[in-house]
Amino acid sequence: MKRLFLLFLLVFAPILLYALEFGCEELKNPKEFFKTKSQKYSLINDAIFYCDGSLLNLEHVNALFEVAKKIRGENRSCVGDSVYEENLNKFKWLLLEASFAPEIYAKSLKTPNESEEQKDAQMVYFRYWGTQSLYNFLKRREFLKLYNEAQTPLVKYYEQRGQDFGSAAYYATSVVNAFLTFAVGSEHKVKFDITPEQKMIIDKTVGYEQISSMLYSKSFSAFELSNMLNTALLYEREISVLEQILKRGADINFGDETALFYALKNLKNVEFLLKNGADVNHKNIFGKSVLFYAVQFGDVALTKFLLENGANANDFYIDQNTKNAILNLGDENFYNNTCALEHTLRSVFMHAASHANVEILELLIKHGADIYAVDELGFNAMDYAIINANEQNIKFLQDLKLEPKIK
């Protein structure tokens, strides 16, 4: 045993020391620190990124960082801890440099014209990405709000550190664009963009008559029309526009996530789609129906409406065998989306215990939800409520005498 311990020290002690090498005191001489330090980012101790004066201590910047991570979509289960930490800390190191040594940070930047060109290309791709699902749409909207709001605090941050207004604005713009690059990555290099027809639908100054005229200006495939329908739902266009797109030939139940998934932030549009034949129990690749999203949003009215219109209160995620089969297909998009799914056979009720409230749990029970179900890792609804520290749901489930399965 002693030999094993000594071997552990020989192998890992340099790494452990290296991980603790950087301290806030060293940042008092930032030019020397960033000029001489070389590092394996995954081993850097996290505390260094939150020293006094770090950009990540700014409320708007930290909020932008959190949503950028979600958009980036990198997951430990998919890429491994080392790669995940390396990529994350590499970006945090860039922010640390922008905090304490902006002049050195500036040397790594493209020219203003090149930066603007890259930002424009990223925004084009980002808009396209935002039309691919309701989740993407909401995350893009959240990011852009924070992206714009962070600019002024960043300018003030740099001015308080002695930068003139022009330099402060330059650094602030560079930092928010660094978040855009971190979130979007290099995907913008592939020329993805929405169609001219989708651009018309997004533009609220373009009315029903113009859209109707466009729809009959040439022949469109069912795929193209379904994309138009989904875009119209995301941007909450009027019912008359939706009717015209359907009349033209859009398939209301097309895709991994159908039109109903895109409509979930507008109850009137959900009602319209169900009246026109939308399948309320259609599932995406994970096995999630729209009811999962309704409870995740904590939307009582939507949850109630879906249940009253036939949504299955006992829906489950896919099982492990189905997950393995999807991963074995080798499709990159399916792999990236599915490898992070750990709790297979999670039920709607478990999902609600995590994300929703007591009123939604009561609605699910009223419509026959099995409160005792467990997922394939052995977790029940109480376990989910505890993991997510949902105190009101914990109390409610305790009153139902539901005990956690995982001690």
> What topology does CATH give the domain 282-407?
1.25.40
pLDDT band at 18 (very low <50, low <70, confident <90, very high): very low
Q: For 75-79, 249-253, 277-281, which range has the lowest pLDDT when averaged over its residues?
A: 75-79
Section 74-100 average pLDDT: 92
Q: For residue 26, which of 39, 9, 7, 8 has the smallest C-alpha distance?
A: 39
Residues 6+ apart with CB under 8 A from 120: none
Domain ranges of the chain: 2-189, 196-279, 282-407
196-279 classified as CATH 1.10.274.50: no
Q: How confident is the model at residue 92, as a pLDDT?
A: 96
State how far the Cα of 154 lies from the Cα of 59, in Å rounded to an integer. 11
pLDDT band at 4 (very low <50, low <70, confident <90, very high): very low
Q: Which residue has the tokens 């330099």?
A: 167
Cβ burial of 184 (10 Å; 0-12, 13-18, 19+) is: buried
Q: Note the helical H segments in 161-206.
A: 165-184, 196-202
State how far the Cα of 288 lies from the Cα of 351, in Å rounded to an integer. 10
State how far the Cα of 353 lies from the Cα of 69, in Å rounded to an integer. 25
* DSSP 8-state code for residue 164: -
Section 303-325 average pLDDT: 94
State how far the Cα of 252 lies from the Cα of 225, in Å rounded to an integer. 10
Question: Is the fold of 196-279 the same as that of 282-407?
Answer: yes
Q: Which residue has the tokens 């007591």?
A: 358
Question: Which of the pair, 79 or 202, is modelled with greater confidence?
Answer: 202
Residues 6+ apart with CB under 8 A from 211: 200, 201, 237, 241, 244
The pLDDT tens digits of the residues spanning 277-311 come to: 999 999 999 999 999 999 999 999 999 999 999 99
The pLDDT tens digits of the residues spanning 102-124 come to: 999 999 999 999 999 999 999 99
